[in-house]
Amino acid sequence: MKINMLAGPGPDYYKIIGDVITAYVGSESENYDLSVIEEGDTVTDVSSIGGIQPIHYATRENGELKVNLCQRVGPGYWSESGWFDASEYDPDAVHVVFDGSKAFWGTPVVYTRQGAITPEAS
């Protein structure tokens, strides 16, 4: 499975095992079994958890599952991670990209399983 992390409203973190993604929001968790997605199928609407849409897009191309997830962020200019192998996903890491060269109001923050983190400017 390949994943791309978008910046925006997202769960606290994910757990990925095979084709099953578990999203965690507070004390809630929800499993999403994506093994049912067949070649060429696209999924854009899954059940929300804690008012958050944890999976924005999923498809299977050439036998490989490709999924857009979201990492929760606060103020600042953020961009997506780019595609990477799901085995490299770390719930304690910042996967989205912060652009500290642009002016904005507030303190930049991104959320991981460890809570809020202020990223270093890039």
- Whether residue 122 lies inside any domain: the answer is no
Burial of 121 (0-12, 13-18, 19+ CB in 10 A): exposed
- Residue 28 CA neighbour count, 13 Å, CB half: 9
pLDDT, position 100: 84
pLDDT, position 61: 96
Which is nearest to 68 in space by CA: 60, 58, 78? 58
pLDDT, position 122: 45
- Whether residue 22 lies inside any domain: the answer is yes
pLDDT, position 104: 85
pLDDT, position 23: 97
Please list the ranges in the chain whose pLDDT falls under 50.
122
Helix, coil or strand: residue 56? strand
User: How is residue 98 written in tokens?
Assistant: 């912060």
**Which is it for strands 64-72 and 2-8: parallel, antiparallel or unpaired?**
parallel
pLDDT, position 105: 86
- The total domain count for the chain is 1
- Whether residue 93 lies inside any domain: the answer is yes
What is the Cα–Cα distance from 41 to 44, expressed in whole angstroms?
10
- Whether residue 35 lies inside any domain: the answer is yes
- Whether residue 56 lies inside any domain: the answer is yes
- Domain of residue 20: give its range: 2-117
- Whether residue 109 lies inside any domain: the answer is yes
